[in-house]
Structure 1
Amino acid sequence: MSTNTQKTREFTGRHMLLTILGFFGVIIAVNLTMATLASTTWTGLVVENTYVASQQFNRKAEEGRAQAALGWTGKLTIARGEVRYSLSDTTGKPVPLHGVKVLFRHPAYEKEDKSVTLALASGEEFAARHMPKDGVWIVEVDADAGLAQPYRDVRRIMISQGALQ
């Protein structure tokens, strides 16, 4: 005859201590990871002062309507490491520009934002060497066309394999 003399394992105070330390260790690790990610990504800040922005809203809306009434069309191209921009009127003629600035804003990460000043390339087209990373971008173009305010062209674009889609 054989007797089963297997010793049963007991749940001791040491086991409880290790369980509690493991549980709180995981919680602390997750909190530190989330805090690090939150502090190194987008702040969520859209405007510095919401009251001032609300006071300027009607003026900016009126400027937008006046700009839309011009009927101008901006042409933005991004390919082969180059950004190009030109502006044409309602008849398709190029609008003479004095300067163009382009701001590439990443929708989620401010540290990847990049401002590029374009120089006159040919005719009425402005260009500069710049290659934004693949992904979604918000492009804000300020073109000096001799108006009281720069002509503002804001678009959400997609860059894939180095070219505008």
Structure 2
Amino acid sequence: MKANTQSKREFTGKQMLLTVLGFFGIVIGVNLTMATLASTSWTGLVVENTYVASQQFNEKAREGRAQAALGWEGRLTIVSGEVRYSLVDTNGTPVPLHGVRVLFRHPAYDAQDRAVTLAAASDGRSDSLGEFAARHTPKDGVWIVEIDADAGLALPFRDIRRIMISKGALR
């Protein structure tokens, strides 16, 4: 028989100290990284004052019902670096507009939000009656589009959509 000549290594206090310090160093490092990322990203703030927003809710709901009763449909196109918008009534007749403003909002952060004022399209097409257009190419991704169209009413016609832009065009 052959005797086992390997000596057993002892786990010393120094090794235990290094293990504990390494463990807590990693935990603290991860926590600091996550806290830094959280503080430099989106705050989660949707409205400045939630109480005021809650008091305005019923009025905004009333305005939305009145607008829906009109039966108008907004037509938004984004292609080849151009944003176009028009309104049609329940018969498909174009609604005359005096101005259109489009706000492109990113759902997670506001650094790339952009407001675009559209002008009356004057490209000579017969189907561009009542259509407004402007040059703008939003980055690819998901956007919340808020459209305010001045149709001569007391309040602008408000059209809010969540859209997807892919290769510079609306999908």
> Normalization by structure 2: what TM-score?
0.87
1:89 matched residue in structure 2? 89
TM superposition shift of 1:3? 4.8
1:105-126 Cα distance to aligned partner (Å, 9 max, x none): 1222222222222122233211
1:99 matched residue in structure 2? 99
CA distance, structure 2, for counterparts of residue 157 and residue 25 of structure 1 = 44
Counting matched residue pairs gives 165
Q: How does 1:41-52 map to 2 (within 5 A)?
A: 41-52=41-52
> Normalization by structure 1: what TM-score?
0.90
Percentage identity across paired residues of the two chains: 78
Q: Structure 2 unaligned runs (5+)?
A: 123-128
Whether 1:65 and 2:65 are equivalent positions in the alignment is yes
1:69-126 Cα distance to aligned partner (Å, 9 max, x none): 1111100011122211111122222112122111111222222222222122233211
Q: How does 1:3-152 map to 2 (within 5 A)?
A: 3-122=3-122, 123-152=129-158
TM superposition shift of 1:15? 1.2
Q: Structure 1 unaligned runs (5+)?
A: none
Letter of the 1:115 counterpart: A
CA distance, structure 2, for counterparts of residue 65 and residue 51 of structure 1 = 22
RMSD: 1.7
Question: 1:55 is paired with a residue of what secondary structure?
Answer: helix
Whether 1:162 and 2:147 are equivalent positions in the alignment is no
Question: 1:96 is paired with a residue of what secondary structure?
Answer: coil
1:12-32 Cα distance to aligned partner (Å, 9 max, x none): 122112212221121122212
Moved more, 90-99 or 4-13: 4-13
